[in-house]
Chain A
Amino acid sequence: MKMSLRIRIALALIGLLLGGLYALPALTNLQGTFLGKVLPESEIRLGLDLRGGMHLTLGVDIPRGVANTMAQFGQDIRSEAQDDDIFILRPQVVNDVKLEFTLARGAQQDQLERLLRNRFDNLQILSKETQEAGQVRYTVGMTQAYRAHVEDLLVEQAIKTIRNRIDQFGVAEPDIRRQAEGRIQVQLPGLQDPERAVAIIGQTAHLEFKLVDDQADIDRALRGILPPDAELASMHTRNPDGSVSQTPIVIKRDTLMTGEFITDARVSFDQFNQAYVGLNFNARGSRLFERITGENTGRRLAIVLDGNVHSAPVIQERIAGGRASITGRFTTEEATDLALVLRAGALPAPVHIMEERTVGPSLGRESIERGLQAALIGGALILIFMLVYYSMSGIVANAVLCLNILLVMAGLAAFGATLTLPGIAGIILTIGIAVDANVLIFERIREEIRRGLTPAIAIDEGYKRALKAILDANITTIIAAIVLYQFGTGPIRGFAVTLSLGILASMFTAIFVSRIFFDFWLKWRKPGTPLSI
């Protein structure tokens, strides 16, 4: 397969052109200029380790989400059954996945089971046992398929909610991805306030309205003696000095209403310039809130967020119009963030931060400067060395080396790959590999010349014999790079990408392009001129 010199030159020029096409706009700022309009819009994306930002791995608490769904089923079954005059007692979630409840009158078994079959076909009866007084204790669970569906939905919803919140928080180019086992990866480049971001992303924001049990005795409740339908919670209040104090409060177990009906949440200020969060409900929520406030006028309504009571105002009158407010002596920032998470909706299940990596922007800048400086000095040393060691041929090696780096940059830009600090190390290693290819060829040519061959044959033999060694060597490195890409994360993938790109580029430049220079020289030299290698 011997191509003519002219075709090879053309191919090399196409490579150079393509390289320049992608690398130029990525490396220089051409915006607004003529070139900027003509060239493809490419850029080298910098990894979080270079530009600064935050990387989070969140784990969705799927068992909790499943348990919440089951609890909701319990409520639904009870109210649906009630409409048919079937009475169900004590719905209760057991082991996160099973729902237990008692049918008050055993004679209604058929009726209940028909109801379950018709309207709750995602549930199956696991067991039932008849108790004294004719009551029947049922244990139900989700069907296998439905449970998988619920788990999948939980993660999808969590991603949607988190994306919503981040969009409102205002981070440019957030990257949110689903990973295996209910994990979510969130990348927030250039983030300035990681603490606040974590607070906003991680908050479940499950808002509930519950009645306060004013009859209950706090002292007895603290000792664990509670009415069966009540629970102990703590109420957060902010003191004038800014500290937060918690006081125990007994609230009813039943949730009257949740935050799912919220259409909007905004920060407002009362007459004492104290921030509070005003809520708007949708039509259904408005009706529900009106009924709740109408039925419970004079009692205290606890506003519970993620299990903590924020305020418990006395209901003065029936509230129509679909508005409510959460007061709790917030700072303005807290109120803003609370409004944000309420607007974006509650997470279907709590999320836990399993991994967090935050790099400040100044560190990123410093890393990039140092990495580039090291790369430039290392590269310059190699250029000088090759020139001294191989004289004229060294110039060829250096020319193709520069082309090599250009192609790696262009490759990064064209594939939209991310440049990371280990990626810079990969480029530097690539330089070593490209040099190795040239060294292998040149040393071989020298050997052949020493054996007394003419330059033309020596060059031919040198390339031919070195080629196999280079291929074997590079393929093993590519294997390592592929494995790295497959199993690595973040910066390491960046390393694998630059390494693979570098090897491919070096095969093209050090084997194909450099040969052109020699063939060109062979064609135009004066007969008898020795090869400068």
Chain B
Amino acid sequence: MGLQIIRPDTRINFLKMRYGAFLISGLLILAGLLSLVVKGGPQLGIDFSGGMIIQIKFDQPVELSRVQQALQGADLPGLGVQRFGTAQDNEFLVRTSSSDLVSDEVRRDIQNNLDQNLAGIGFDIQRLEMVGPRVGADLRAQAMEALFYAILLIAIYISGRFEQRWFPAVIMAAGLTGGIAALRWLGLPMELLVVAALLITIGLCWKLKLSYALGAVVALVHDVFITLGMFSLLNKDLDLAIIAAFLTIIGYSLNDTIIVYDRIRENIRDKVDMTLPKVINLSINQTLSRTILTSGTTLMVVLCLVLLGGGVIHDFALALLIGIGVGTFSSIFIASPILLGLSKIADVDLEAEAGREADTVAV
């Protein structure tokens, strides 16, 4: 046998810790929400808000304040200058927020101002990104649509494939698509549609007693919310790459949740003499070493990306780091306890579901 991190006979009572975990999650979500409210919503990068980013590399060390001063003369609305990468990189990001800029004029304007005010220091415009307002709005709608369809498809997949209940899954799909079509017809913006899609999904899962799907969706909403809040707290911009990271987080969080759920269902079938809390605890413990190993190795690689991957990929990797960390936490402390809570409140008979599963397998 190789090494072991978790002893096989480990029996940690995770359910007992659930209130503590809920508190931690609640505080994290609250902090993120507060930050979002104070800052008036998520901080949108130029992909969604429109504007321009210019990355400049100097051939010798320059103070941030000198670059800022040098660009004072440039007539750029909403001008912001910040350091990019490490101090040795001598790189800066210049942002402007104006919606109707001509990239060429800005490029020339910046070049002229730097030439005049920082004489003798060579520089190179390494990257320029300009997104016009129309494209920004389109990209925003596309990103929202992506999140919406991802949630829709995943909810259907879990309730169908995972719970072997394709009929309720189809009802849910129809309800969700119909509800969203109606709301879209009313002309609601995509942001509200996504929130509405979530609420409808959760409501339908509740009504149709699709408890596993509900637990998984709540867990992934939890993960995305915390990551979003953290990004707001860290003053990071939301751009297309971050949305990609969010979708990856959703996929990963589900991975984790499903593997624990899979074990719970298997144990409900095999260990009929156990109470549900005991089964849940046992299942989490049994999958614990896998959870820690997988999350550990993935986080290790993502950490390499954050530390060594360079500036362009940094925020993307950071979102993955936060999201995967939170996703691991949520599959242990949020998704599984929710199953227990549901079986008490909504009178969901998990054993009956497991039995149905056993039938279909037997067929």
Contact = CB atoms under 8 A, between A and B. Distances in A.
Interface of A: 49, 57, 59, 194-195, 198-199, 352-360, 362-363, 366-367, 370-371, 373-375, 377-379, 381-382, 385-386, 388-391, 393-394, 421-422, 424-425, 428-429, 431-433, 435-436, 439-440, 443, 446-447, 450, 465, 468-469, 472-477, 479-481, 483-484, 486-489, 491-492, 495-496, 499, 532-533
Given A354-B134, A476-B251, 4 more contacts: A363-B127, A374-B307, A479-B153, A483-B247
A198 B106 CA distance: 13
Nearest to A440: B290
B127 A487 contact: no
Interface in B104-162: 104, 107-108, 124-132, 134-135, 139, 142-143, 145-146, 149-150, 153-154, 157-158, 161-162
A195 B106 CA distance: 11
B240 A489 contact: yes
A377 B304 contact: yes
Contact of B157 (A385, A479, A496): A479
B82 interface: no
Nearest to B102: A353
Contacts of B258: 469, 472-473, 476
Closest 4 pairs (CB-CB, A-B): A370-B310, A432-B298, A378-B301, A487-B146
A439 B293 contact: yes
Given A382-B297, A479-B150, A483-B146, A499 B248 contact: yes
A393 B2 contact: yes
Contacts of A360: 124-127
A477 to B, nearest CB: 4
Contact of A59 (B134, B252, B266): B134
A422 B157 contact: no
Contact of A374 (B252, B298, B309): B309
A491 B127 CA distance: 15
Interface in B257-276: 258-259, 262-263, 266
Interface stretch (B67-75, B195-203, B312-320): B312-320
B177 interface: no
6 contacts: A356-B130, A362-B57, A421-B312, A450-B8, A469-B258, A476-B251
Contacts of A382: 297, 300-301
Nearest to B240: A492
Nearest to B108: A195
A435 B316 contact: no
B244 A362 contact: no
Contacts of A378: 300-302, 304-305
B301 A476 contact: no
B255 A436 contact: yes
Contact of A436 (B124, B247, B298): B298
A358 B127 CA distance: 5
A397 to B, nearest CB: 11
Contacts of A352: 132
B108, B132, B305: which has the most chain A beta carbons within 10 Å? B305
B294 interface: yes
B154 A480 contact: yes
Nearest to B293: A439
Nearest to A197: B104
B300 to A, nearest CB: 5
B49 interface: no
Contact of A487 (B149, B161, B248, B262): B149
A352 B320 CA distance: 36
Q: How large is the interface on B (under 10, 10 to 19, 20 to 34, 35 or more residues)?
A: 35 or more
B3 interface: yes
A388 B293 CA distance: 13
B254 interface: yes
Nearest to B216: A476
A76 B250 CA distance: 61
Contacts of B124: 360, 362
Interface of B: 1-3, 8, 55, 57, 102-104, 107-108, 124-132, 134-135, 139, 142-143, 145-146, 149-150, 153-154, 157-158, 161-162, 240-241, 243-244, 247-248, 250-252, 254-255, 258-259, 262-263, 266, 286-287, 289-290, 293-294, 297-298, 300-302, 304-305, 307-310, 312-313, 316-317, 320
A363 B126 CA distance: 6
A477 B255 contact: yes
Q: For chain B, what secondary structure do more than half of its interface residues adopt (helix, strand, loop), or is it mixed?
A: helix
Contact of B129 (A358, A370, A424, A496): A358
Contacts of A474: 255
A469 B158 CA distance: 12
A419 B160 CA distance: 34
Nearest to A59: B134
Contacts of B158: 476
Contacts of B305: 371, 374-375, 378, 425, 428
| Residue with the highest number of chain B CB atoms closer than 10 Å, among A366, A424, A499 | A366
Given A385-B297, A390-B2, A356 B103 contact: yes
A446 B286 CA distance: 11
A508 B142 CA distance: 33
Contact of A488 (B127, B131, B244, B301): B244
Contact of A199 (B1, B104, B135, B313): B104
Contacts of B55: 363
Contact of A491 (B107, B142, B241, B286): B241
A496 B293 CA distance: 25
B128 A532 contact: no
A199 B102 CA distance: 11
Most buried by A among B57, B143, B250, B293: B293
Contacts of A432: 294, 297-298, 301-302
B310 A431 contact: no
Nearest to A449: B1
A379 B301 contact: yes
A379 B104 CA distance: 42
Nearest to A381: B300
Contacts of B259: 440, 469, 472-473
Given A355-B135, A378-B305, A469-B262, A481 B251 contact: yes
A68 to B, nearest CB: 22
B268 to A, nearest CB: 15
A386 B317 CA distance: 23
Of the listed residues A422, A487, A495, the one surrounded by the most CB atoms of chain B closer than 10 A to its CB is A487
B313 A371 contact: yes
Given A367-B313, A431-B301, A472 B162 contact: yes
Contact of B241 (A390, A465, A486, A492): A492
B312 A367 contact: yes
B259 to A, nearest CB: 5
